[in-house]
Structure formats: structure tokens, C-alpha cells
């Protein structure tokens, strides 16, 4: 369990997160993911990376239990840095990154897929930022890469999720397929990309990143400053104290242990 890598086909490396029950990552998990993605991009034999996950869903963000168990703000500082490194590793990977998303993609999961080059999703995939319900802020930078500005704000302020089909309608998801076909579909696309010249692919990735209108690393770090302010002011603890309690007759709508970004 944790983060693993496999080379299933020539030119393609798959980085898989597997941390039951919902793939909510602790501090070290974010750094492990960043290291695996960066190592894949540096390998001259790799021309495309597939970012995948095992289990119930793609990613449920930060492991809030780790934050709740900390005696001071060190865990918050560490997880802020860890998330920033993982998101940046995906964006700055020297080769294209294809995210294969099934089930829930929340909080930090949005940071990962928002920085990926292409998203392939299962028909049960849902995407959202439950930050305001978790005493945190962040990853609006990445959600705004998936949906238009006003929809991003509505989703952020309400903590609602959107389906893979909705994102496909906005053009941010490449294909939506049955869950059983997700891995094969993502790998098929990665193989197609990997057939291009490796040097030219790396130049293309650098060129496309260079014309982005938003510096995603700096934008996200700006957001994180407000997460820290919420923590110092006590509002984050007040909100987290209600974490896990039912907020409607149906109870919580997001996976347990999920956190912000």
C-alpha cells in the first residue's frame, strides 16, 4: 500500500496510489507521490505517465486524522508543503500525465487532476472541493482549470460535486467510460502519446506550460496562506470539530477521513 510504480507498456509508467479506505494521504504520502511522478518524468525511456488509484476512489485529499492528532501547527505546515509538491510534480512532469479517475476525487485529488494534462474518468467519478466543510481552503486554482469561473465559485462555496459527465461537457475530461474499462482506456491514450518522439514531447510539455495564463504553483501557495490563517484564528478547529457529524438526514456526502488541500 502507498504509492507504487509499474511499467506496463513501452514508454508508459503508471503511478498508483493505494491507501485504504479512501486514498486520503498523510504528509509523507504526498511527498512519495511527488517523488514517483518526478522520477518517471526524468526517465528518458518514459514518454507518458498514467496517474491512477486503487480502491473506492481516486483521492479524498488530506488525512484529517493526522491534522487532528497534531499538538501544534507543524502537521498543517508539512501537509501544505507536501500537497504543493505533489501538485507541482504533476504539472512540471517532463512528459504528459494522464489521470485515470474513478469514484471520488476530492480536495487534494482536484489539485492532482487539475494539474494533469489529460483526464480519463469512469462513469462513477465525482469531483469537488469540500474545503469549507473541512476547515481548510485551497485548490480553487486547480478546480478553475476544470470548470468555468462562476461554476468554480458555486462549487467551492457550496462544497458540491460534479460528475465526470458534466466535466466532459465542459471539455476538461477526455473520455468517460465504464469503470471496468478505465485502466485500459487510460493506457490506450498513454500508448498513443508515447508513440511520439520523446524529445519533442518534452519540448511540447514545456512549451504548453510556458503559455499558461496562471502560474499554478504560485497561485496555489497564495491560497494556502488563507488555510494557515484559518488555522491560527481558530476557525479551522471549530469547523473540524464538527467533522464526521451528519449534516442532513442522509448524513455526510463525502468519504470519511477526507480533507482539504
What is the SS3 string spanning 233-257?
A: HCHHHHHHCCCCCCCCCCCCCCCCC
pLDDT digits (tens, 9 = 90+) for 216-249: 999 999 999 998 899 889 898 888 777 666 554 3
Closest to 60 measured CA to CA, from 111, 95, 16 = 111
Place of cell 514518454: 47
| Cα distance from N-terminal residue to C-terminal residue, the chain | 21
Grid coordinates in use for 155?
Answer: 462549487
Closest to 53 measured CA to CA, from 132, 115, 109 = 109
| pLDDT score of 248 | 47
Is the pLDDT reported for residue 69 higher than 80? no
Place of cell 498513443: 192
Phi (first) and psi of residue 111, to 5 degrees: -60, -35
Is the pLDDT reported for residue 260 higher than 80? no
> pTM, whole model, 2 decimals?
0.92
Closest to 51 measured CA to CA, from 84, 24, 85, 87 = 87
Closest to 114 measured CA to CA, from 74, 76, 85, 141 = 141
pLDDT digits (tens, 9 = 90+) for 146-196: 999 999 999 999 999 999 999 999 999 999 999 999 999 999 999 999 999
H helix or E strand, kind and range, residue 226:
helix 216-233
Grid coordinates in use for 117?
Answer: 494534462
Grid coordinates in use for 104?
Answer: 471520488
Q: With beta carbons less than 8 A apart as the criterion, state whether 132 and 157 touch.
A: yes
Domains and CATH numbers, the chain: 2-240 (3.90.226.10)
Q: With beta carbons less than 8 A apart as the criterion, state whether 134 and 243 touch.
A: yes
3-state secondary structure of 98: strand
* Lowest mean pLDDT segment, chosen from 48-57, 108-117, 251-260: 251-260
Backbone dihedral region for residue 177 (phi beyond 0: left; psi -120 to 50: alpha; all else: beta): beta
β-bridge mates for residue 118, sequence order: 98
Q: How confident is the model at residue 14 (pLDDT cuts 50, 70, 90)?
A: very high
Alpha carbons 189 and 167: distance in angstroms, whole number = 18
Amino acid at each position: 500500500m502507498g504509492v507504487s510504480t509499474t511499467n506496463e507498456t513501452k514508454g508508459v509508467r503508471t503511478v498508483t496510489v493505494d491507501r485504504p479506505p479512501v486514498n486520503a494521504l498523510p504528509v509523507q504520502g504526498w511527498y512519495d507521490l511527488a517523488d514517483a511522478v518526478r522520477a518517471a518524468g526524468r526517465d528518458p525511456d518514459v514518454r507518458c505517465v498514467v496517474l491512477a488509484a486503487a480502491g473506492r476512489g481516486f483521492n479524498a485529499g488530506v488525512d484529517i486524522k493526522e491534522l487532528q492528532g497534531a499538538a501544534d501547527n507543524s502537521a498543517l505546515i508539512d501537509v501544505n508543503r507536501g500537497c504543493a509538491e505533489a501538485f507541482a510534480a504533476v504539472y512540471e512532469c517532463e512528459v504528459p500525465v494522464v489521470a485515470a479517475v474513478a469514484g471520488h476525487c476530492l480536495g487534494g485529488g482536484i489539485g492532482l487532476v487539475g494539474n494533469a494534462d489529460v483526464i480519463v474518468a469512469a462513469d462513477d467519478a465525482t469531483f469537488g472541493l469540500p474545503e469549507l466543510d473541512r476547515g481548510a481552503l485551497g485548490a480553487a486554482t486547480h478546480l478553475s482549470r476544470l470548470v468555468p469561473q462562476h461554476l468554480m465559485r458555486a462549487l467551492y462555496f457550496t462544497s458540491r460535486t460534479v460528475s465526470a459527465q458534466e466535466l466532459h461537457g465542459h471539455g476538461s475530461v477526455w473520455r468517460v467510460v465504464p469503470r471496468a474499462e478505465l485502466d485500459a482506456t487510460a493506457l490506450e491514450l498513454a500508448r498513443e502519446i508515447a508513440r511520439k518522439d520523446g524529445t519533442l514531447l518534452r519540448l511540447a510539455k514545456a512549451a504548453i506550460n510556458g503559455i499558461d495564463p496562471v502560474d499554478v504553483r504560485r497561485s496555489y501557495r497564495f491560497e494556502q496562506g488563507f488555510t494557515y490563517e484559518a488555522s491560527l484564528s481558530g476557525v479551522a478547529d471549530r469547523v473540524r470539530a464538527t467533522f464526521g457529524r451528519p449534516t442532513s438526514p442522509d448524513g455526510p456526502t463525502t468519504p470519511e477521513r477526507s480533507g482539504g488541500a
